[in-house]
Amino acid sequence: MSDLHNEFANSRFFNAARMDRRSADVLAGLAAGIAADGVVKVEEAQFLRQWIETQLAHLDDPVINLLYQRISLMLQDGVLDAEESAELLDTLRGFAGLTVASPTARAYTAPNPLPLNQPAPDIICEGRVFLFTGTMAFGPRRECEKLVIDRGGEIGASVSRKVNFLVVGSIGNEQWRHTSYGTKILRAVELREEGFPIAIVGEEQWQQALLGA
């Protein structure tokens, strides 16, 4: 599977024996604090980017780099629009181990299997409508959307009968039922059970279909 920024191979964020625990714990605490009120403001994103630059540059950790790269890309134009704020909120919640039901304390719950279509459908872009949810390993959501558009597909505004594929990002999706993007998945399941042709697919399958990765 393609990893646009090479964030995940041998990540020290998930290997306590190799990482700077103090710096990582402080960063997780900052992420939790920013995400606690359910809104990420541009000033908060700017502060977090600057903190990583000054405190964690020496770590060279792939997952921390993911967070830094996402924030930097979103702040290139100096603003943080509603879509970027929502995506960053999901990323921070996953980074800090937060759930929507318990937004003020780190909470870890048993994984829930994703309700992906079985058997997996063929993914065709031309003339199909896509919607993304969760945090994508490939890159920011806008880059994923551009990949679809460049191949003749369209992007949906929300989960609806017009959407053909709901693509679930591969980062942190074990906790999908407890995150804000889980509501999109639940709505897609409802539509699918009502007989509408919406398929729920994982990012790995999406990347394989579009990139052969």
Domain boundaries, the chain: 12-96, 129-211
pTM: 0.57
Residue numbers of the chain with a pLDDT score lower than 50: 1-3, 5-19, 99-112, 175, 178
Q: Are 175 and 99 in contact (CB under 8 A)?
A: yes
Give the CA distances from residue 148 to residues 124, 126, 166, in Å, rounded to whole numbers and listed in that order.
9, 9, 12
Q: SS3 breakdown of the chain: % helix, strand, coil, rounded to 5?
A: 45, 10, 45
Q: What is the largest CA-CA distance in the chain?
A: 52
Topology classification of domain 129-211:
Rossmann fold (3.40.50)
Q: What is the pLDDT of residues 68-100, one digit of tens each?
A: 888 998 999 998 998 888 888 888 877 776 544
pLDDT at 65: 76
Residues in the chain: 213
Where are the strands (E) in the chain, listed by range?
Answer: 129-133, 154-155, 165-168, 199-202
Residue type, 104: T
Per-residue pLDDT at 206: 94
Residues 115, 161, 178, 70, Cα dihedral to 10°: 100
Question: What SS3 state is found at 102?
Answer: coil
